[in-house]
Amino acid sequence: MLFTYLLLAIGALKLLTATAKAIVGEVPRDRVEQFARLHSLPITAGNGNQVIVYRATTRRWRTSGFAAGIAIQVAIRGPHFLDAGWVFVGWFVGAAVAELRVAHLDRGPHASASLTPRRLADYLPRAGRFAVPGTMGLCVLTTGYCVADHHAHPSGDLTSVAAWAALGLGVGLVALTAQRLVLRRPQPMAEPDQLAADDAIRSRSMHVLAAAGMVLAGTCIGSQLEAADILHHDRIADIFNTMVGFGLPIAGWILAYRPSPARREGSTPSAPPTAPSAPEPA
């Protein structure tokens, strides 16, 4: 018993040390290099600090969320019932909050802006754009399936199914809202290398939010099936749950760490969708 408590104390101490280091410590050089590699971004004297500040802000908030996820669970349920899912929830909330805290480029003495509209498609591939809405859709479909199949599994708890569905949809909405905030973060005109870094930062944020939102909402799907008591009784549901349980984290990891060149800020606005239309009759 004493040994268990000793291990827990050491674990808590290590967690506290790692959290403190992430909050106030320096960003390792390899992290900046990894970021530059993922986005094919040349790090210059002008944009180096920009990337370091971004990495420091996101690391600080994500780690704080992660640690809070553990601390809250320990406080509520005790140290023996640590659920990785809720720890991930804490990390995700920290990641979303970090996006609100990331500083935008300085406007300088003369405010200027590009007339090029920023779109989600500029920063995320098609699969990434549909990751969160698709998982939210799956969450709704699973709810429908659980309700329809309730007569075959009357021991299932439909209230819990609905609660997990609400949580899954809520997580999806948080991810989509955070993506929207990232897209709207001001981008005044600046030096090309700073604009490239700003675009790379947006792209990184979008990828992480899409991947984390998808995996977290996907976790709720598994919990829905479990709450409905369908798992281990329905072969199709078991296969589906396995696919969601393993497939989504793998897809999320691929999406989050997929190399994505920074969006090149054009000096011209987006081209018309079609050729200029013929003159309209007066």
Partner 1 sequence: MIVELDETSPVPPYEQIRAQVAAMIGSGALPPGTRLPPIRQLAGDLGLAVNTVARAYRELESAGLVASRVRTGTVVAPRTSQELDTRTAADTRRLLTEAVRSFTATTRRLGIADHDALAAIAAELSGGEAAG
The residues in 130-189 that bind partner 1, with binding defined as CB under 8 A, are 183-189
Structure tokens that stand for 260 in this block: 């994505």
Query: Residue 14 interacts with partner 1 (CB under 8 A)?
Result: no
Q: How many Cα atoms occupy the beta-carbon half-sphere of 250 within 13 Å? A: 6
DSSP 8-state class, residue 267: S
Residues 228-267 that bind partner 1 (CB under 8 A): 267
**Cα–Cα distance list, 130 to 97, 138, 175, 176, 199 (Å):** 22, 12, 12, 11, 20
Interactions with partner 1, residue window 82-111 (CB under 8 A): 107, 109-111
CA angle 216, 217, 218 (to 5 degrees): 85
Smallest separation, CB 187 to partner 1 (Å): 6
Closest distance to partner 1 from the beta carbon of 209 (Å): 19
Among 10, 113, 152, 243, the residue binding partner 1 under the rule CB under 8 A is: 113
Residue from the set 11, 144, 261, 269 that interacts with partner 1 by CB under 8 A: 269
Listed residue (78, 22, 62, 224) closest to 143, CA to CA: 224
- Kindly give, in sequence order, each residue whose CB lies less than 8 Å from that of residue 87, ignoring residues fewer than 6 positions away: 66, 69, 70, 73
Q: 187-206: which residues touch partner 1 (CB under 8 A)?
A: 187-189
Q: How far is the CB of 199 from partner 1 (least distance, A)?
A: 13
- Closer CB to partner 1, 31 or 129, in the complex: 129
Given candidates 23, 52, 116, 249, which one binds partner 1 under the rule CB under 8 A?
116
Helical axes 248-256 vs 192-227, angle rounded to 10°: 170
Closer by beta carbon to partner 1, 176 or else 189: 189
For 277, the token pair is 């239309």
C-beta separation of 112 from 188 below 8 A? yes
Nearer Cβ to partner 1 (155/277): 277
**Least distance in angstroms from the C-beta of 33 to partner 1:** 30
Which of 55, 59, 62, 118 binds partner 1 (CB under 8 A)? It is 118
Q: Applying CB under 8 A, does 271 fall inside the site for partner 1?
A: yes
Q: How many binding residues for partner 1 (CB under 8 A)?
A: 33
Nearer to partner 1, 112 or 155 (CB): 112
Q: What is the CA radius of gyration of the chain?
A: 22
Q: Which residues have CB under 8 Å from 115's CB, separation 6+? A: 269
Q: What residues line the site for partner 1 (CB under 8 A)?
A: 107, 109-118, 183-189, 267-274, 276-282
